[in-house]
């Protein structure tokens, strides 16, 4: 397992019976997490709590006067946060492991690196690549997430760098890129378990992931560096994702996978999904 380091403005302060208590800068949140199945005593004053409804979904209970949006930083990266539906804040801190990997990979190259970020959400990985001078294509089916990503790019003073934003269904976009014969050196994808495309196309990871990776692998350049898949889907093991990469990427390189986690103040580690990659 890989745990994040140097994220000074984010930490898990406690974990108790299905909930994690977190500090995001100077904002303290309580959010549900299905991995936390043990009890503990946590005495922390929180600013907001996400509570689930018995009929599905949930809502935020605001307990103090917190801003609608606020910022936190990881090293020299800046992210805009806000409380959004389904308990999210717009950032997954454990992905700092991959941000560092992407940046270090690009730094070693003495050329312009082309990056494709699929299911790109609010753009943390895109920003990491832009910071090192890469040319980035950022694809997500949600206009709201694209707008948020643009805000993050601007907050990092990167709006004049080479980034292309596209609101699109990832599968359709990839097929068009194949026809256009466009190629990328680094490809990142963070597919949800279930989702809908820009025109209400249904996505189911167990049914659609293999074919998407097979298609997307055709976009790797002759000098390809990385192909990263992140998943939070219960039941998809690291071995499954490695097997998909082995069956789809026809290039020399190595395939590895690991669990990502965050170490809490009491030294317990909260697992936060898996990441697998092919690298040259």
Residue pLDDT, tens place only, 213-268: 999 999 999 999 999 999 988 788 999 999 999 999 999 999 999 999 999 999 99
Mean pLDDT of 87-95: 97
pLDDT tens string 128-138 = 999 999 999 99
Cα 265 to Cα 269: distance, rounded to the nearest angstrom: 9
- The predicted pLDDT at position 254 comes to 98
Is the per-residue pLDDT at 55 higher than 90?
Answer: no
pLDDT band at 52 (very low <50, low <70, confident <90, very high): confident
pLDDT band at 151 (very low <50, low <70, confident <90, very high): very high
Cα 38 to Cα 130: distance, rounded to the nearest angstrom: 40
Report percent pLDDT > 70 for the chain.
Answer: 100
Q: Please, which residues bridge with residue 81 across strands? A: 70
- The predicted pLDDT at position 65 comes to 95
- The predicted pLDDT at position 161 comes to 95
- The predicted pLDDT at position 159 comes to 95
Mean pLDDT of 272-278: 97
- The predicted pLDDT at position 196 comes to 80
- The predicted pLDDT at position 56 comes to 75
Q: Please, which residues bridge with residue 226 across strands? A: 186, 279
pLDDT band at 14 (very low <50, low <70, confident <90, very high): very high
Ordered structural domains, the chain, with CATH? 2-81 (2.60.40.1180), 93-279 (3.40.50.150)
Mean pLDDT of 2-25: 97
Those residues whose C-beta lies under 8 Å from the C-beta of residue 268, and which sit 6 or more positions away, are: 15
- The predicted pLDDT at position 22 comes to 98
Is the per-residue pLDDT at 57 higher than 90?
Answer: no
pLDDT mean across residues, the chain: 95
Instruction: Dump the DSSP string for the chain.
Output: -EE--S-TTEEEEEEETTEEEEEETTEEEEEE-TT--S--------SEEEEE-TTS-EEEEE-S---SSEEEEETTEEEEE---STT--S--GGGHHHHHHHHHHHHT-SSPPEEEEES-TT-HHHHHHHHTT-EEEEEES-HHHHHHHHHHHHHTT-TTS-EEEEES-HHHHHHHHHHHT--BSEEEE---SEEE-TT--EEEHHHHHHHHHHHHHTTB-TT--EEEEEE--TT--HHHHHHHHHHH--SSSEEEEEEEEEE-TTS-EEEEEEEEEEE-
Mean pLDDT of 186-190: 98
- Is 202 or 119 the better-scoring residue by pLDDT? 119
Mean pLDDT of 17-29: 98
């Amino acid at each position: 397992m890989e745990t994040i380091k140097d994220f000074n403005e984010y930490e898990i302060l406690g974990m108790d019976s299905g909930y994690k208590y977190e500090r995001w800068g100077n904002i303290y949140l309580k959010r549900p997490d299905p991995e936390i199945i043990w009890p503990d005593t946590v005495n922390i004053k929180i600013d907001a709590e996400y509570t689930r409804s018995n009929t599905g979904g949930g809502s935020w209970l605001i307990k103090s006067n917190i801003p609608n949006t606020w910022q936190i930083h990881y090293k020299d990266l800046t992210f805009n946060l806000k409380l959004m539906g389904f308990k999210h804040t717009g950032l997954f801190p454990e992905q700092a492991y991959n941000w560092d990997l992407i940046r270090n990979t690009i730094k070693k190259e003495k050329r312009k690196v082309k990056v494709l970020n699929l299911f790109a959400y609010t753009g943390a990985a895109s920003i990491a690549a832009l910071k090192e001078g890469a040319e980035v294509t950022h694809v997500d089916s949600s206009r709201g997430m694209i707008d948020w990503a643009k805000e993050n790019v601007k907050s990092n003073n990167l709006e004049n760098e080479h980034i292309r934003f596209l609101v699109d269904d990832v599968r359709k976009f990839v097929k068009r890129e194949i026809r256009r014969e466009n190629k990328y050196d680094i490809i990142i994808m963070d597919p949800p378990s279930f989702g809908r495309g820009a025109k209400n196309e249904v996505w189911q990871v167990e049914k659609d992931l293999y074919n998407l990776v097979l298609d997307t692998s055709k976009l790797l350049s002759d000098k390809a560096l990385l192909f990263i898949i992140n998943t939070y889907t219960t039941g998809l093991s690291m071995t499954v994702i490695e097997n998909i990469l082995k069956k789809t990427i026809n290039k020399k390189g190595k395939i590895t996978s690991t669990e990502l986690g965050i170490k809490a103040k009491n030294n317990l580690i909260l697992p936060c999904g898996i990441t697998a990659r092919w690298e040259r």
